[in-house]
Amino acid sequence: MKTKKILLTILGIGIVAAGILFAADHADSPTITGKTTDITDVYAFQSPTTSTNMVFVMNTQGLLTPAATGAASFDNNTMIELNIDNNGDNVEDLVVQCVFNNGTMYVYGPVKPSSTGSKSIVEGTSSISVGVTPYGQTAVIASQNSYLAFAGPRDDPFFFDLDQYKKIIAGTATSFNSPGNDTFKGTNVMSIVLEFPKSLLGATTGKVNVWAEAKRKI
């Protein structure tokens, strides 16, 4: 019993119907599950169209069914923040802050934060702003000075046969199926996509460390 409990705890007990389902980072803790501060995934890659640019994707509010997506929104009290460490000490040297006001996303930075750590204020002046794309409409893209911004619902790009993994962890299966079944098939996320020149990252060693934080107004 104890072993089983521990095993289940490794992944958490996923109850899809209730929306409690643990994945890339989807609903990874009960505290943030179902909230606008739940980050599901972070992506960082060189722009496929402009090699001098970097693209950052920060997805939130995962496992949205098509029926639930229209009502999903970004929260005026939530900041989604990209943290950038450019000298290898895992402390943010620059931040890119995404904050929302009545259907518009305002992006601040990359900018040196006035203090590091778990509390932030919005820094400096806005680099770019973009209207949040409504569900079912063509993507609204803001673009200025090689800086592009998007916010709105998108297909969740994450894929994983999470259900089978849970069975393996629970001891009711011994291997994955072939082919597997993507547990995230047909679900959406509230996505933030930013693209800007790599030169803004302040990298001197050919690399940076990044992570996303979701912060709530206190």
Which positions from 115 through 174 interact with other proteins, judged by CB under 8 A?
116-122, 125-126, 135-136, 139, 141, 148, 150, 153-155, 157-161, 164-165, 168, 174
Q: Which residue number, 9 or 16, has a Cβ lying nearer to other proteins? A: 9
Which position among 69, 74, 109, 196 is part of the footprint of other proteins (CB under 8 A)? Answer: 69
**Residue 176 interacts with other proteins (CB under 8 A): yes or no:** yes
Q: How far apart are CA 32 and CA 19, in angstroms?
A: 12
Q: How far is the CB of 148 from other proteins (least distance, A)?
A: 5
Which position among 106, 107, 132, 196 is part of the footprint of other proteins (CB under 8 A)? Answer: 106
Bridge partners (DSSP) of residue 203 are none
Q: How far apart are CA 150 and CA 140, in angstroms?
A: 6
- φ/ψ of 42, rounded to 5, equals -130, 135
**Residue 209 interacts with other proteins (CB under 8 A): yes or no:** yes
Which position among 1, 18, 71, 175 is part of the footprint of other proteins (CB under 8 A)? Answer: 175
Q: How far is the CB of 112 from other proteins (least distance, A)?
A: 17
Q: Which residue number, 17 or 148, has a Cβ lying nearer to other proteins? A: 148
Q: Which residue number, 17 or 84, has a Cβ lying nearer to other proteins? A: 84
Q: How far apart are CA 40 and CA 208, in angstroms?
A: 21
Q: How far is the CB of 19 from other proteins (least distance, A)?
A: 15
**Residue 1 interacts with other proteins (CB under 8 A): yes or no:** no
**Footprint of other proteins on residues 30-49 (CB under 8 A)?**
30-32, 35, 37-39, 41-49
Q: How far apart are CA 218 and CA 215, in angstroms?
A: 9
Is there a contact between 167 and 140 (Cβ–Cβ < 8 Å)? no
Residues contacting residue 179 through CB under 8 Å, at least 6 positions apart: none
SS3 of 133-202: CCCCCCCCCEEECCEEEEEEEEECCCCCCHHHHHHHHHCCCCCCCCCCCCCCCCCEEEEEEEEEEHHHHC
**Residue 75 tokens, joined:** 């929260």
Q: How far is the CB of 173 from other proteins (least distance, A)?
A: 9
Reading phi first (left if > 0) and then psi (alpha if -120 to 50, else beta), residue 102 is in: left
Q: How far is the CB of 54 from other proteins (least distance, A)?
A: 7
Which position among 55, 103, 111, 146 is part of the footprint of other proteins (CB under 8 A)? Answer: 55
**Footprint of other proteins on residues 6-25 (CB under 8 A)?**
6, 9-12, 22-25
